[in-house]
Chain A
Amino acid sequence: MRTNLLAALLAAIATAGLVAGTVTAGGPVLSQAAFIAVGLILPVLGRLLAARRPDLPYGWLLLAAAVCFGVGVCGAGLTRVAPGLAAAALVAMVAFYGLSWVYIPLLFPEGRLPSRRWRPVAWLAGIAITLHATGNLLVPFLPGRPFEVNGPVQWAGVFASAAGQFTVWVLGYAVLGGLVLRLRRSEPPERAQYGWMVAGATANQAGIVLGYLFLAGQQGQAVGVIGMVAVLGALPGAIVVAVARHRLLDIRIGLRGSRLLLVFDVRPTVGEVLSSLAPKLEDSPEPVEQLGRLATAVRTGLETRWAAVTLADGRRVVSGAEDGPAALTLPVRGGQGSLECGPRVSGRLSREDRRFLEALAVPAGLAIQSAGLATRLVNAQEAERRRIERNIHDGVQQQLVALIAGIELARATGGGAGTLGHLREQARQTLADLRELAAGIHPSALGQGGLVNAVEERCARLPVPVQVFAGRELRAERFPDEIEGAMYFTVSEAVANALKHAAAARIEVRLARDVGRLGVTVSDDGRGFEVRPGVLGTLTDRLTALGGGLRVESERGKGTRVDAWVPVDG
């Protein structure tokens, strides 16, 4: 909003200067109105561009030219009233000429140099304009006054002004030549945009020539008017046409509905795309759907025929009809995939489009990361269910089958007390195994007594001494199911690993509650191992999904330490 205000302020200054200067200068009312009308194109256009695309310098450049022009016109109007002030203000006109002569055609259309080679031209133009302005300040020249040069300082001013003006003039032609070259190399629709700019710049230069002829008194009033209109109106007029007809800077002017309403339809900015994408991503629980929305956002944002999000594992979600090689491919943040898009519906992808895609690559990376996380979590859950199913089939179910066979045998053979006692033991063992299995799925201690209780219960069943440290308050505190579950299984898995793989003799479990954070540390004196990325991946995923994390520190011969934490309220 601040940029919008600044643009409006600059346009207002330019307009005020233009109107005030014109009215003070006097003359026929119709001619004044025409001058103001033509002069207004520049500030209005500059304001619209700067407000709509504040990221592009071009709108600001036009606004700067408009302000210079407004101040200059104001100065021209003040010549009779306040000559000193007028001379200073008139210098702004020099800057206006320089800007519209060199910079407006040179920096067309985005406000950036076409290549590094043009850098000296830009610098030279700046120096020449300054020289021109300084010279003019040293030799106050006011319209309608006799032109006198007194003393070496004023002579220096005359030379500086002339040299500066001449240099700007030559550079103007160089820039025009460069513009023609860019026109010849370009393709539609940029070709049409450059065409209009070349026409505008040519008209501008012709206007200046006509203006000089008029000032030199060689030609009549009509030539002066044509020259003035060309100088003032040609460039902004060309830009207006390029905007209106050839979608310069992705701005369209059209009629909406039946009302005669001029509408500036701007390609959405990255910020706009992101703010409209965020709720859509939240609404779609399916990871693939999220990636699809992202691809659609890229496609509509850049107006390409298609766009795709490709994941590192080869999965790919395409929006639109993929009909050829990608015109632009960018890796997303975190390197877990890439964004691709096809050619634009019309025209080519610009540097601006590339920047747009780069900005989208950040949220894309996050979306891909969470999509991958969700898939891995689902897979881990599936694997866990399969493991439980196999455990039931191979364990308890088989034991029951054996029990049934035993009972049938006892029935067929009239089994005695010994056989029945044996069968009872078998039934008890089955029950114990079933209890163990249920505890592995969800320990009842966790549901009843909370995290600390369940962890103590789990550790008490281990064949090595384990110590569990937890604060008194933590012992009574309850957390959401998913947090208690994740922390419990982290401990369970860590102690199981310490026993199974590290052959630990002592294990220590510490539960601690900080502000906004619940942490658990499991350390052992076992063999230790070389920590590779992806170790305890399923647990890490589970904790990451809760906004927490897991760190494993281990070294051969020095034991292992597993740190896990999750955010909690308060």
Chain B
Amino acid sequence: MGDTIRAVLADDHYLVREGTRQLLETSGEVTVVTTVGDADQLLDAVRRLRPDVVVTDIRMPGGAWRQGFEGIDAAHHVRAGHPGVGIVVLSQYSDALFALELFKHGTEGLAYLLKDRVGDLDELLGAIRAVAAGGSVIDPKVVEGLMARHDVRGEPESLTPRERDVLREMAHGRSNGAIARALHLSVSSVEKNVNAIFTKLGLENSGDVHRRVAAVLAYLRP
């Protein structure tokens, strides 16, 4: 990719908006084509500027949107009207409820990240790149929450600790190669684990990262 990724940034808080813009622009990978303060302006900007990705706050008071869900609802609108636009929703809530709300119609091209990820540029850029390519990402903390919920439900645990580590990385939208690097494993070992996970969960194996996230969600969804 020679070109930079064109992004629209939406956040109602001025300091956050400007801070994130400067941060993304220093990377040299992202061009912020405009910044907006609410969901209505966001939809308008997407219509006019056709960005590659949208990075939006989950909560932006104003307009006739569901209160507290403005970012998620705007994301669904954008995906419905412009399927090529990837969306990263930045959220203050680590509660899985909001992530599941975002992914309720599918996971393709959507990422749910906690807001403190703005302190980790690589992570943020990784998510932006993933959604721009139609992939999918869920914040590891949210996956932890989902896993904890899953454990609380008292169903017999079928995965080994290693498999759970791999599952967490899969939820993060990583390819087998990336998982192998993150966990310091060989690619073939990761492949073995991934196959075991899908067999145990009765899910269809697939190389698509967004479909793998969807599979993980299907497993963890309450």
Q: Write the residues of chain A forming the contact surface with B, with a CB cutoff of 8 angstroms.
A: 393-394, 397-399, 401-402, 404-409, 412-413, 426
Contacts and interface: CB of A to CB of B under 8 A. Distances in A.
Given A402-B13, A408-B23, A393 B119 contact: no
A404 B15 contact: no
A405 B119 contact: yes
A409 B21 CA distance: 10
A397 B92 CA distance: 8
Given A393-B92, A398-B15, 4 more contacts: A407-B119, A408-B120, A412-B26, A412-B121
Contacts of A402: 13, 15-16, 18-19
A413 B119 contact: no
18 contacts: A393-B59, A394-B12, A394-B59, A394-B61, A399-B13, A401-B16, A401-B92, A402-B13, A402-B19, A404-B118, A405-B118, A405-B119, A408-B120, A408-B121, A409-B22, A412-B121, A413-B26, A426-B15
Contacts of A397: 92, 115
A404 B121 contact: no
Given A394-B13, A402-B15, A408 B92 contact: no
Of A394, A401, A402, most B-chain CB atoms within 10 Å: A401
A453 B118 CA distance: 42
A412 B119 CA distance: 10
A394 B61 CA distance: 10
A394 to B, nearest CB: 7
Given A393-B92, A405-B118, A399 B26 contact: no
Given A408-B121, A412-B121, A426-B15, A401 B116 contact: yes
The prevalent SS among residues of A at the interface is helix
A407 B22 CA distance: 11
A408 B119 contact: yes
Of A393, A399, A404, A405, most B-chain CB atoms within 10 Å: A405
B188 interface: no
A394 B118 CA distance: 16
B75 to A, nearest CB: 19
B177 to A, nearest CB: 26
A398 B16 contact: yes
Interface string B62-105: 00000000000000000000000000000010000000000000
B4 interface: no
A227 B119 CA distance: 112
Contacts of B13: 394, 398-399, 401-402
A412 B23 contact: yes
Interface of B: 12-13, 15-16, 18-20, 22-23, 26-27, 59, 61, 92, 115-116, 118-121
A404 B116 contact: yes
Of B12, B13, B19, B120, most A-chain CB atoms within 10 Å: B19
Given A409-B26, A412-B23, A412-B27, A401 B59 contact: no
A426 B13 CA distance: 14
Nearest to B120: A408
A404 B59 contact: no
A471 B26 CA distance: 62
Contacts of A409: 19, 22-23, 26
A398 B92 CA distance: 8
A404 B13 CA distance: 14
Contacts of A398: 13, 15-16, 92
B20 to A, nearest CB: 5
Contacts of A413: 26
A431 to B, nearest CB: 15
Contacts of A408: 23, 118-121
A408 B25 CA distance: 12
A115 to B, nearest CB: 64
Nearest to B22: A409
B57 to A, nearest CB: 9
Of A397, A399, A406, most B-chain CB atoms within 10 Å: A406
B92 A405 contact: no
Contacts of B19: 401-402, 405-406, 409
Contacts of A406: 19
A523 to B, nearest CB: 35
Given A394-B13, A398-B13, A409-B19, A404 B26 contact: no
Contacts of B92: 393, 397-398, 401
Which 3 pairs across A and B sit closest by C-beta, in order of nearness? Answer: A405-B19, A402-B15, A404-B119
Nearest to B57: A398
A393 B71 CA distance: 15
Contacts of A394: 12-13, 59, 61
Nearest to A409: B23
A404 B18 CA distance: 12
Contacts of A412: 23, 26-27, 121
Nearest to B60: A394
Of B12, B18, B20, B120, most A-chain CB atoms within 10 Å: B20
Contacts of A407: 119
A408 B124 CA distance: 11
A409 B15 CA distance: 13
Contact of B23 (A393, A405, A426): A405
A399 B115 CA distance: 11
A334 to B, nearest CB: 35
A399 B23 contact: no
A295 to B, nearest CB: 38
Contact of B20 (A393, A399, A405, A426): A405
A437 to B, nearest CB: 15
A536 to B, nearest CB: 26
A427 to B, nearest CB: 12
Nearest to A413: B26
A401 B115 CA distance: 6
A509 to B, nearest CB: 34
Given A393-B92, A397-B92, A405 B16 contact: yes
B26 A401 contact: no
Contacts of B118: 401, 404-405, 408
A401 B120 CA distance: 11
B139 to A, nearest CB: 14
Contacts of A393: 59, 92
A412 to B, nearest CB: 5
A426 B16 CA distance: 12
Nearest to B90: A401
A52 B116 CA distance: 77
B71 to A, nearest CB: 13
B43 to A, nearest CB: 22
Nearest to A399: B15
Contacts of B15: 398-399, 402, 426
Of A394, A398, A407, A412, most B-chain CB atoms within 10 Å: A398
Nearest to A423: B19
Contacts of B27: 412
A100 B39 CA distance: 90
A445 B109 CA distance: 51
Nearest to B20: A405
Nearest to A400: B116
